[in-house]
Chains A and B, each alone.
Chain A
Amino acid sequence: MQSEPKGGGITDETLSVVPPVVTSPSDVVVSCRNLTKRYGDLVAVDDISFSLQAGTVTGYLGPNGAGKTTTLRLLLGLAEPTSGEAFVFGGRYRELEQPIRQVGAVLESNDFHPARSGRDHLRMLALAARLPLRRVDEVLELVELGGAARRRVRTYSLGMRQRLGLAAALLGDPQLLILDEPANGLDPAGVRWLRKFLQTFAGEGRTVLVSSHLLAEVAQTVDHVVIIDRGRLLARGRLDELTSTGQSLEDVYLELTDGDAS
């Protein structure tokens, strides 16, 4: 399904920095409504609302500890919200029939058993998902890990681990990719590879949500941004509109997060 990126891909009636655009609900791939997660007194995610349209690439930005990863964990059913809701494709992740056929996600860059081969890591996931095992070799080729597939993960470089994680996320040929800091620790070649990969993925009309604090990199890859700090939503909208006054994404971000006041 080819779907053009829509204006105002991130919509909300109350807080949006761009004028709300009426869109068909079927185009909404990710939606958080009044999403809140508390750990005792700490409010990790504080009443966050946003939604993503199909075909958009969104940067989810904020300082360390802003609540980015927690939001993604809530979206992916790894954690339960204290209140509010986090939906993918109109429902809770944990209630999707075959989630990895719709959503691919990488939360940590090193979620592998060091003594297991990259191929076996993917095979154990493919088996559980009842995907054909030839899909494992396909995604290994896709992320250019075919040559190292039978080696143990402990021999992999950080860049290879990032790509193996990505391969796992791609097993189910998903329409939505959720990545937490995918460029962390990548060398320049790896960063470029990832950027091209995400552009190709989005070019097929699929949706990407990528958290990051590498603003220069984000500015080259995404068309929408959501900025949070201390669990609260600060801004969201199209990147070109957010920076239309001539400010760079970095300027906007630092202004919003008070990062320049240190």
Chain B
Amino acid sequence: MIGNLRSELLKQRSTQTTVYLFLAMFALVALAVTMHVVALGADDLSSRTNQLEVFQVGTRAGMLFAGLAGAIAFTAELRYGTIRPTFLVTPGRGPVLAAKLAVGVLVGLVFGLVAEAFMVGDAAVAFAARGIDNELTGGDYVQLLTGGAASAALWAAAGVGVGALIRNQVAALVGLCAWMFVVESTSESFVPGFGRLLPGSAGLALAGNTDDLSAAVAALLLVLYAAVAAAFGWRVTLRRDIP
């Protein structure tokens, strides 16, 4: 298992995929923060609640890109065929998946932290440029960083599970993006009161961007989602034939 962990860490480091994901995330956060701060009226940006809303950008980006990284960790092996040598070395398959989940959580934490930190810096510059005072408290920042990192870590674990379940890389990545940008944002209008329970909204609550859920309930939900996705991915991976 230690061997599998070290192997998965090397897989992460030995391609540039993670670096490109970080760059894409920075670009997305910068764009979204700029658009928000430029487009919104000064009144809509002045209160602490409004500013926390704007800071959703970092939390969402951290979760999404951590989820993508998790999904890629599995689907890239199928896409490039490395799943075959990988499973020839570890034919039990379980240790590979466990290592991918563990490394995914680690990478997800970094994605979450970096996304929040980048956004905080970005927003500080943008607010200052428009002469708007930053109303966030120290506690808000702590929750943004810890909650954002935890949410992203759990999204990464869920991403590994989704990747193992869907297997096709493009489908898994498109699916995760569609989930974050379409399902999460429209579900509330179809089933009121339900949208806040979804993994993206739960992550926002955990990071303190919204108060739709208590942090404890949000954390519990996210753990549950990650566990369910990982369990299904695990089950399928141990049973299904490798092409």
Interface residues of A (CB under 8 A from B): 73, 76-80, 93-94, 96, 99-100, 103, 105, 107-108, 110-117, 120-121, 123-125, 127-130, 168
Q: List 19 A-B contacts (CB under 8 A).
A: A79-B241, A79-B242, A100-B89, A103-B88, A105-B88, A110-B81, A111-B84, A112-B81, A112-B82, A113-B11, A113-B80, A113-B82, A115-B15, A124-B7, A124-B14, A127-B3, A127-B4, A127-B10, A129-B89
Please judge, given known A-B contacts A73-B242, A113-B76, whether A108 and B10 are in contact too, CB under 8 Å.
Answer: no
Contact, CB under 8 Å: A80 / B91: no
- Digit string of B7-37 for contact with A (CB within 8 Å is 1, else 0)? 1001100111100000000000000000000
Contact, CB under 8 Å: B82 / A73: no
CA gap between A243 and B167 in the complex, in Å:
46
Tell me whether B92 is interfacial, beta carbon within 8 Å.
yes
Contact, CB under 8 Å: A128 / B3: yes
CA gap between A111 and B88 in the complex, in Å:
12
Contact, CB under 8 Å: A111 / B85: yes
CA gap between A130 and B4 in the complex, in Å:
9
Beyond A115-B15, A116-B11, A124-B7, 11 extra complex contacts between A and B, CB < 8 Å:
A79-B242, A111-B84, A113-B15, A113-B80, A113-B82, A120-B14, A121-B85, A124-B14, A127-B6, A129-B3, A129-B90
Contact, CB under 8 Å: A94 / B84: no
Contact, CB under 8 Å: B80 / A100: no
Task: Report chain B residues within 8 Å CB of A125.
Answer: 7, 85-86, 89
Please judge, given known A-B contacts A79-B242, A125-B89, A128-B3, whether A111 and B80 are in contact too, CB under 8 Å.
Answer: yes
Task: Report chain B residues within 8 Å CB of A121.
Answer: 14, 82, 85
Question: Smallest CB–CB gap between B23 and chain A, Å?
Answer: 15
Partner of B241, one of A78, A93, A105, A129: A78
Q: Residues of B within 8 Å of A, CB-based: how many?
A: 28
Question: Smallest CB–CB gap between A132 and chain B, Å?
Answer: 12
Question: Smallest CB–CB gap between A245 and chain B, Å?
Answer: 40
CA gap between A78 and B85 in the complex, in Å:
10
Task: Report chain A residues within 8 Å CB of B17.
Answer: 115
CA gap between A78 and B99 in the complex, in Å:
19
Tell me whether B87 is interfacial, beta carbon within 8 Å.
yes
Closest 7 CB pairs of A and B: A111-B81, A128-B7, A79-B241, A120-B14, A94-B91, A78-B242, A127-B7
Listed residue (B10, B17, B83, B242) with the most chain A CB atoms within 10 angstroms of its CB: B10
Please judge, given known A-B contacts A93-B91, A112-B81, A114-B80, whether A80 and B10 are in contact too, CB under 8 Å.
Answer: no
Contact, CB under 8 Å: A76 / B88: yes
Please judge, given known A-B contacts A111-B81, A115-B17, A120-B14, whether A128 and B89 are in contact too, CB under 8 Å.
Answer: yes
CA gap between A77 and B83 in the complex, in Å:
12
Partner of A99, one of B4, B7, B91, B241: B91
User: Can you name the residue of chain A whose Cβ is closest to the Cβ of B6?
Assistant: A127
Task: Report chain B residues within 8 Å CB of A128.
Answer: 3-4, 6-7, 86, 89-90, 96
CA gap between A103 and B87 in the complex, in Å:
13
Question: Smallest CB–CB gap between A117 and chain B, Å?
Answer: 7
Task: Report chain A residues within 8 Å CB of B16.
Answer: 115
Contact, CB under 8 Å: B15 / A73: no
CA gap between A107 and B10 in the complex, in Å:
23
Contact, CB under 8 Å: A73 / B241: yes
CA gap between A127 and B241 in the complex, in Å:
24
